Amino acid sequence: MAERVVLAYSGGLDTSVAVRWMIENMGVEVVCLSGDLGQEGSMEANREKALGAGAIAYEQLDLREEFARDYVAPMIKMNALYEKQYPLVSALSRPLIVKKQVEMARRYNADALAHGCTGKGNDQVRFEVSAMALAPDLELLAPVRNWGFTREDSIRYAQEHGIPVDATKEKLYSIDDNLWGRAIECGEMEDPWAEPPDGVWQMTKLTAEGEREVVVGFSKGVPVSIDGKTMSLYEVIIEMNRIVGAYGWGRIDMVENRRVGIKSRETYEAPGALALMMAHEDLESITLERDLQREKTRLEPRYSELVYDGLWFSPLKEALDAFVDSSQEHVTGEVRLKLVPRRCIVTGRRAEKSLYDYGLATYDAADRFRHADSEGFVRLWGLSVQTWSDTQGPGSRDWENEPGEA
């Protein structure tokens, strides 16, 4: 039986109640860990709430730079969009949080890890599978999944035990966010026919007018500058969220397939993420050799599935990371984006080691393509089809003289 547990602590109702519930029902000591991943709102009250609920210790870590560098950057390089739309906002933060939980467990001599996930969502998989990979010796606790409380039950429990939480029965939406984007679910949006109300959008409120151009610079697949100004990836993401979000672009409304086997209507806003990934993929069009680009495109959905399914720490993910890092060796250059209200499009791209050769592509006097070579190329390229047609294709002698056809 576990004696001391490190809880991934959000400061919300469920994790605050979980602190006291585990103390009373499991007889454990609780250490709380909160991570700053660039989410909205203040974390100042978390310490008071965690200790007020009975935790023996509370630690808060600034993980923004590490999150951008080690977790977001691979997503950009791989153009990782789950089911072609979702930039894996929530899925990305979980393996980093678990990594820090494990480090803290070693420091505090804890023998268990805990999370505040329900049994219906994806995050329970991400927390627990990551923990299995990093620390298989630690016990895994999931109080929220097991206690059977409704939201009303949790509020009542908090009130009865003097747990300092700010929660009401009227809260309509479940929000999970970090610097890479924002996920909104529940409320009327559980009906896939219902249009999301304007009030749910925060990052993509249309405030800009006219049009604007933004030039994003990349080095080996990673964004490093905006309009010529060099920044850390964390700063690039924050600035692109601000710039692109002001044009009301970057919303996602989809029905996605959860790992637990159900379909779920999800809404996201990720203006910076979607704009940066669009620019990156476009830069690859002039810097990746054809077969490399096609094979990478084929692997991108599989990579996204691994991250979504909680397999960040896995042999296949590690092998694919080596592949994508190799592919990005020459993905260095700039992409120009044009922004108008509700739209973001690529209008130009350039790279020092571009594979686009004007002398080969042009039809004007600078044309260096040897047109005469194409005659033999086309003949050999079509040879197999011609052979097939001669023997059994639509123009073959046997087909033309079938019985009953004169």
Q: What is the DSSP string of 21-66?
A: HHHHHH--EEEEEEEESS-SS--TTHHHHHHHHT-SEEEEEE-HHH
Q: Report the chain's C-alpha Rg in angstroms.
A: 27
- At a CB cut-off of 8 Å and minimum separation 6, what does 271 contact? 203, 204, 240, 241, 244, 245, 247, 249, 250, 344
Given 106, 156, 166, 174, the catalytic residue: 174
State pTM to two decimals.
0.91
The residue ranges of the chain whose pLDDT is under 70 are 167-173, 393-406
d(Cα 171, Cα 70) in Å, to the nearest integer?
Answer: 34
Q: What is the dihedral of CA 147, 137, 307, 300, to 10 degrees?
A: -160
Cα distance between the two ends of the chain: 88
Residue 202 has a CB neighbour count (10 Å cut-off) of 13
* pLDDT confidence of residue 199: 87
CATH for the 4-160 domain, from 3.40.50.620, 3.40.50.720, 3.40.190.10, 3.30.360.10 = 3.40.50.620
Residue 138 has a CB neighbour count (10 Å cut-off) of 20
- 62 is known as an active-site residue: no
Given 123, 130, 177, 251, the catalytic residue: 123
Residue 381 has a CB neighbour count (10 Å cut-off) of 10
- 94 is known as an active-site residue: yes
* pLDDT confidence of residue 25: 94
3-class secondary structure, 198: helix
Could you tell me if 335 and 216 are in contact, meaning their C-beta atoms sit under 8 angstroms apart?
A: yes
d(Cα 82, Cα 392) in Å, to the nearest integer?
Answer: 44
Burial of residue 203 (CB within 10 Å: 0-12, 13-18, 19+) is buried
Helix 290-308 and helix 315-327: axis angle, to 10°?
A: 150
3-class secondary structure, 269: strand
Nearest Cα residue to 236 out of 65, 87, 97, 91: 65
All structural domains of the chain with their residue ranges: 4-160, 174-351
- 14 is known as an active-site residue: yes
- 343 is known as an active-site residue: no
Dihedrals phi, psi of 219, to nearest 5 degrees: -130, 115
Q: Which fold has domain 174-351?
A: Argininosuccinate synthetase, chain A, domain 2 (3.90.1260)
Given 47, 94, 126, 182, the catalytic residue: 94
Helix 383-392 and helix 373-381: axis angle, to 10°?
A: 40
Domains 4-160 and 174-351 fall in the same CATH topology:
no
* pLDDT confidence of residue 406: 47
Given 10, 14, 34, 304, the catalytic residue: 14
d(Cα 240, Cα 279) in Å, to the nearest integer?
Answer: 12
* pLDDT confidence of residue 363: 82
Q: Sheet containing 181-185: give its strands across.
A: 174-178, 181-185, 263-269, 251-257
Cα angle 88, 93, 94; round to 5: 105
| Paired sense of beta strands 222-226 and 229-230, if any | antiparallel
* pLDDT confidence of residue 150: 85
